[in-house]
Structure 1
């Protein structure tokens, strides 16, 4: 799934014969070409704070390939893992604000801010939202061994057994963990949490019956769904997913539960407004392509608008939400 990297020599060949770019430090002036221009005159690093091979890595490489195709400029994905995301976040928060280093991350950044984690910078202040890229709603999935056929049946089964069923997540304070806390609030059920070092083992134990419920996103369980090992009961989205058109939403089954794992692009604090506007414009062009959106939808994603203001508001709203959930449910995130 890795996007091909464009070398300096390759970039030069692609741009041969195109109008010259009249550059100034950190920003690139408008060109006479119809191509949108990223506001930087050097290769752009896309920092991913998660391991290669995961959803964030796929999105970053898919985006880098699209941006290179669209602009003729070079975008290189770098995986900076460690510290629960902090290593990658820091690399961008401390980078020069010249549009040559950007961050592709997920909700874990908002959770870190809500939890007051010491990540070496202020997540609320030291990164500038540029654009949402993709949203992945959770799939409400019960163990195959449970005698339930749909979401209503599962909720009735759980209500009759308060505190007797277990759900798995990818760790304390992970998105699936906190989403499950929200779901219990909405449904009026009480489940016990089992924390794993990632969702893969949670999926394995769900199939084996060690836990009875999980909230994975589609890429995590795509293989098990194709093989028939799992059958989700509902999707926690406002509308059905193009990738799973026969799967009803939770709302269709009487449960008001809508939430997403999101992935978005951010830049260092101090990036000039002109540069942020230029980056957002290029992202809007990239995301408007039908092939780009269709490829994301095939992985179970929904593709939101690219407006910076909407992303900023969504982050602020989510930080407030997770702050409440962590406080009221007495969850400590290290």
Structure 2
């Protein structure tokens, strides 16, 4: 075999450098994709698009949002879990990421090991509302009413396995009442039936019911946050009656598992800066949510605790995926 000359080796080395540089440039020019496991127009989608507009300039990259709804967010999560850990594919997930760990008997991914938590974007409490015909003005009166009429009151459930479904079951578990769940395919039809008086009660995102509360068509009984909401100072937190009760939806940004510490830090720092920017904070607060922007370590510990917490509620409820 003819030995490679020094000149040939030099040419080959320069060629390899050129190929690697070209690949790196292509990678840096490729858009970062944020997968969302919910339809366009929903809260998770809104959070992702709000973040993407500021995250892109932070990273000097184009950031696009792709909706892959289905299976309670699992389709989008599975795609990210199987993506290369190069930072080009991210996931905007929500409370169901933790709930699904026990709701689904088997998942094609590990909700902890196959993801790299970057930051929690926001939290969003919900509100327990009742049709005005329900003879209860607050949580204490509702519990007394439900205990006097077991199985005669009902909850509208926008989606089985959702954070709002679990908020209702956590309420029943802690209060010891029996209230029947009425499942719907979506929040909108569930709200409409409560407005019509066909269903008695519902846990709903504040933004979905605030206009009906102002119009007197729904009665607010309590909020799921640890403290009262500034916009509703006269509506007590459920925890004032059921100590320790708290159930807020959350939205967070993940990368695939196995991302390097350097890449994780770069993406997390940019995401946190975006979340805490005046523009994004304002948009998040307009959605009735609270911006967070915590560290990857803090977010990871939170996700672990959520998986444990919701496991107990799923077991109590006997909930099954749709």
**TM bucket normalised to smaller:** 0.7 to 0.9
* Residue 311 of structure 2: aligned partner: 323
* Residue 81 of structure 1: aligned partner: 69
Alpha-carbon offset, residue 137 of structure 1: 1.1
Whether the 8 Å CA contact 1:49–1:89 is kept in 2: the answer is: yes
Aligned residues: 302
Q: SS at the partner of 2:167?
A: helix
Segment drifting more, 195-204 vs 67-76: 67-76
Q: 2:179 aligns with which of 186, 191, 208?
A: 191
* Residue 60 of structure 1: aligned partner: 48
Q: 1:299 aligns with which of 283, 287, 297?
A: 287
Q: SS at the partner of 1:137?
A: strand
Q: What pairs with 1:203-218 in structure 2 (closer than 5 Å)?
A: 203-218=191-206
Alpha-carbon offset, residue 230 of structure 1: 2.2
Whether the 8 Å CA contact 1:40–1:98 is kept in 2: the answer is: no
* Residue 30 of structure 1: aligned partner: none
In the aligned structure 1, how far is the partner of 2:271 from the partner of 2:128?
A: 31
Whether the 8 Å CA contact 2:276–2:292 is kept in 1: the answer is: no
Q: 1:238 aligns with which of 208, 226, 236?
A: 226
In the aligned structure 1, how far is the partner of 2:242 from the partner of 2:165?
A: 22
* Residue 36 of structure 2: aligned partner: 48
Q: SS at the partner of 1:266?
A: strand
Segment drifting more, 300-309 vs 54-63: 300-309
Q: What pairs with 1:144-163 in structure 2 (closer than 5 Å)?
A: 144-163=132-151
Q: SS at the partner of 2:219?
A: coil
In the aligned structure 1, how far is the partner of 2:87 from the partner of 2:35?
A: 12
Alpha-carbon offset, residue 54 of structure 1: 0.5
Alpha-carbon offset, residue 119 of structure 1: 3.7
Residues 1:288 and 2:288 are matched in the alignment: no
Whether the 8 Å CA contact 2:174–2:242 is kept in 1: the answer is: no
Whether the 8 Å CA contact 1:244–1:300 is kept in 2: the answer is: no
Q: 1:261 aligns with which of 218, 230, 249?
A: 249
In the aligned structure 2, how far is the partner of 1:81 from the partner of 1:102?
A: 15
Distance 1:251 1:325, change over 3 A: closer
Segment drifting more, 83-92 vs 176-185: 83-92
Distance 1:190 1:98, change over 3 A: same
Q: 1:309 aligns with which of 297, 311, 316?
A: 297
* Residue 7 of structure 2: aligned partner: none
In the aligned structure 1, how far is the partner of 2:230 from the partner of 2:60?
A: 31
Segment drifting more, 263-272 vs 67-76: 67-76
* Residue 102 of structure 1: aligned partner: 90
Alpha-carbon offset, residue 127 of structure 1: 1.4
* Unpaired segments ≥5 residues, structure 1: 1-22, 28-38
Alpha-carbon offset, residue 207 of structure 1: 1.1
Structure whose alpha-carbon radius of gyration is higher: 2
Q: TM-score, normalized by length of structure 1?
A: 0.82
Alpha-carbon offset, residue 25 of structure 1: 6.9
Distance 1:75 1:159, change over 3 A: same
Which structure has more relative contact order (CA 8 Å, sep 6+)? It is 2
Per-residue displacement from partner, 1:244-302 (whole Å, max 9, x unpaired)? 44433223456542111111011111211111111111122112223322321222112
Moved over 6 A (4+): 23-27
Per-residue displacement from partner, 1:119-171 (whole Å, max 9, x unpaired)? 42222321111111111112011122212222222222222212211111123
Q: TM-score, normalized by length of structure 2?
A: 0.85
* Residue 179 of structure 1: aligned partner: 167
In the aligned structure 1, how far is the partner of 2:220 from the partner of 2:267?
A: 38
